Amino acid sequence: MTGRRWLMVGGAAVLAGGALSGCNSSTAPAGTTALYVVAADGNFRSISAALQVAPAGEVIEVRGGPYAERVVIDKPGIKLRGTSAILDGATVNGGRGIGIHVTNVADVEVSGFTVRNFERGIIVQNATGAVIQRNEVHSNNSKTAGTAPPLAPGVDLFEGLVLLASSGAQVTDNVLRNNGHDGLMITGGSRNNVIRGNRMLDNGAQTVPTQFG
């Protein structure tokens, strides 16, 4: 892309330091073995509805979108896997809030999502062993929002992806672009996280990971 430079972050670096809900069907939709499928032809119409009933350790497949909702993952072992899945905050209370919030939980996966138009894109907070991979987190800079308090010292609005007081995460092969502040922030005593193969472009505050604490 002329005039722009992509930055590869990592190598093998180790850093220390809303919608209608579907039914809970016991039968997998056609074309998949997963019991929890969020799609127009799936057995759920919203991600939050599937998360509410899925047990710990379950795989939730999400297809297409956009989905106008904020997603909170607080069950251990949930694997949220997207296929061309889009989470869009533009019509969610003026873009306020966090797109995907992984909080106080272990061994969660979030992969294959586009997360856009929130105050903050993906936040991994007080979590262990999270896998955040192959997501595109962009345009989290909602100017109609801007009233949320900091999550922690140094964690402001318009962040793309934040590891906050989390350890043992794998953050790989994500695209973090056009977010209003940091593309990637690691803070709050986060440690022993693997950061590899991520690309950052045109974020407001930086082009390399910011670390606090």
Give the 3-state secondary structure of residue 48: helix
For residue 160, the model assigns a pLDDT of 94
Query: Does 128 map to a domain?
Result: yes
* 75 CB-near residues (< 8 Å, 6+ apart): 51, 54, 55, 56, 105
Query: Does 9 map to a domain?
Result: no
Average of pLDDT values for 76-105?
94
Number of folded domains that form the chain: 1
Query: Does 156 map to a domain?
Result: yes
pLDDT digits (tens, 9 = 90+) for 69-90: 999 999 999 999 999 999 999 9
For residue 61, the model assigns a pLDDT of 97
Calpha distance 118→137 (Å, rounded)? 10
Q: What is the CA radius of gyration of the chain?
A: 16
pLDDT digits (tens, 9 = 90+) for 108-152: 999 999 999 999 999 999 999 999 999 999 999 865 555 566 677
Range of the domain at 187: 14-207
Query: Does 6 map to a domain?
Result: no
Query: Does 1 map to a domain?
Result: no
pLDDT digits (tens, 9 = 90+) for 8-67: 333 333 333 333 334 444 455 555 556 899 999 999 999 999 999 999 999 999 999 999
Place of tokens 């595109």: 136
Please state the pTM of the whole predicted model: 0.82
| 17 vs 106, residue with greater confidence | 106
Query: Does 82 map to a domain?
Result: yes
Element (H, E) at 176: strand 175-177
Query: Does 5 map to a domain?
Result: no
Nearest to 37 by CA among 86, 99, 82, 87: 82
102 in Cβ contact with 73 (< 8 Å): yes
Query: Does 2 map to a domain?
Result: no
